[in-house]
Amino acid sequence: MGAVLIGSNVKNLTPGVHGSTFGGNPLSCAAANAALDVMKDEDLPGQAAAKGAYLMDKLKEINSPNIREVRGLGLMVGIEMKQKVTGYIKALQEKKIIALNAGLTVVRLLPPLVITYEQIDHLVEVLTEVLAQTTDDGQ
């Protein structure tokens, strides 16, 4: 859903000059309300906090000399490595784990809010294998 808030310093903006594909129509409003209901009813923010803490704890248990730091907020997690992460990212993707880099030395994990604890355990297991099989230069 899109929304635009415009202050009084914007002049000569008449209706129809600015638009949004998903802004304000009845279908997008109903979808947004349904999404907000799910977020509230299933306590997705609380789940993100709990599952994020679980993930961070599991990642910090990985015994790898190549990990410099694990940091994050909720399910937004960065694993800072001591070398470039290109090889790690490629190896994870080959094992069906979607991870991206954040700069040259950080593996970025952004799992969905609905990830299960079983899926988190699988992620950590695969990451541990990748770190054990990848050389010190991330290749």
Domains of the chain with bracketed CATH:
50-133 (3.90.1150.10)
What pLDDT is stored for residue 54 in this prediction?
Answer: 98
What pLDDT is stored for residue 1 in this prediction?
Answer: 67
Separation between Cα atoms, residue 53 and residue 72, nearest integer Å: 9
Q: What is the pLDDT of residues 43-72, one digit of tens each?
A: 999 999 999 999 999 999 999 999 999 999
Indicate the average pLDDT of the chain. Answer: 89
Mean pLDDT of 104-132: 96
What pLDDT is stored for residue 98 in this prediction?
Answer: 95
pTM: 0.77
Confidence of residue 7 (pLDDT cuts 50, 70, 90): confident
Mean pLDDT of 119-137: 87
What pLDDT is stored for residue 43 in this prediction?
Answer: 94
